[in-house]
Amino acid sequence: MHILVANNIYPPIAVGGAELIVSYLCEELVRRGHRVTVVSTCGPDMEPYPTEMRNGVEVIRFFPPNLYWSFDRDREPGIKKWLWHARDAWNRKAGSRLKAILNTARPDVMHTHVIDGISASIWRRARCQGIPVIHTAHDYHLLCPRAFMLTGDWKLCVRPSAKCRIYRNWHLATTRYVDLFTSPSQFLLSKHIDAGLLAARSAVVANGIPQPDDIERIRRMRHPDSRHRFLMLSRLTVEKGVDVVIQAVAHLPDDSPIRVTIAGKGPLEERVRSASSNDQRITYLGYISGDEKLRALADSGWLLLPSLWYENAPVAIVEAAAYGLGVVGSDIGAIPEFIESSRTGALFPPGDSEALALMMTRLAQPKHGLPEMEAHTKALSERYTVKRMADQYEMHYRDLTMPQPILAIAV
């Protein structure tokens, strides 16, 4: 089967977890004998970008004409972002570029992921040619121009502005061109359905990540005092709850044995660095990867996930479980779908630093540790493998491509 996959960013260009999930899926599909063509974007100064082969995956990149490349959005002022969104809402030139690719590639199915920066016009182009469309939502960009469903002052958005409602209604209307709409979590899927999703069908398909080769070695390396050690691996932004962790440490008794390690980079980096300088219980590692990241996981007993926004399907939970860490997370969004309370972790009210401090204190005590957590975390990680993810998507591809009348939509 020939699967065309569209995502606004594809490795080695990377921003977050979505493009990694997409690459894991594409490479697994190639290993199973499928032909996979990825359509992604590049900056205007990178064109013409040569077609490349990455681990057996054909990758085609182009710049969808707009005010700037979506990868550079954080540098742009607000008014320019709204003008960008207006053009991205239905980028005809991006649709035309995809039409040319479809005419050459002739895929059996098109699987889209994060398409802001490419435009929903590509869904219609595929349907015009009788190609079934499956879309996987990784965030809320169809419902919110910021993709977080947060207000400008980082509060949960419950009353979108008029311009945000126009944005949402338009994007939901375009989902009528989608045959199957999937999400890695029930929470995210329900948010789209409740908002007025028009896709013909919907389903939950869990994300999968590669199982690390060194799981058992890291579990054996676990620090003997790991129950006192909490780790936060995150981009250092407001919505990730960095301040909640810093404030929670301040609520701990002075003689508490608890130690918190924070790793990552982002706008709040200086705040974390300052907290680390002023409180010896906080260690800041900066951005870490490779062996340094493995050492941090081996030294810790708990992963902190204090998010303030509607998290979808945090890969960090599965990664932490693979290495035997319990997860202490906010009771918000899809996080509760991935944390089995009293088995693989614990939940606390989002933004409540005092509740987090009390939870950390309780979990750090031997008599209150989670029984059989090692076995439960291992079972959790084994539910979210690349193999299982690919199995489910293959099933949906076969279902969508079975001989049946597919109505082409007139141009």
Per residue in 25-83, pLDDT (tens digit) is: 999 999 999 999 999 999 999 989 999 999 999 999 999 999 888 887 777 777 888 89
Domains in the chain: ranges and CATH: 2-209+386-401 (3.40.50.2000), 215-382 (3.40.50.2000)
pLDDT in tens, 329-370: 999 999 999 998 878 899 999 999 999 999 999 999 876 556
Cα distances (angstroms) measured from residue 69 to each of 47, 72, 73, 281: 12, 6, 7, 41
Rounded CA gap, 375 and 379, in Å? 6
Residues 6+ apart with CB under 8 A from 2: 34, 35, 36, 37, 105, 106, 107, 108
Q: Which residue has the higher pLDDT, 288 or 216?
A: 288
Question: In the predicted model, is pLDDT for residue 308 greater than 60?
Answer: yes
Rounded CA gap, 31 and 2, in Å? 13
CB neighbourhood size of 99 (10 A): 18
pTM score of the predicted model: 0.91
CA 268 to the chain's CA centroid: 20
Give the pLDDT band of residue 315 (cuts 50, 70, 90). confident
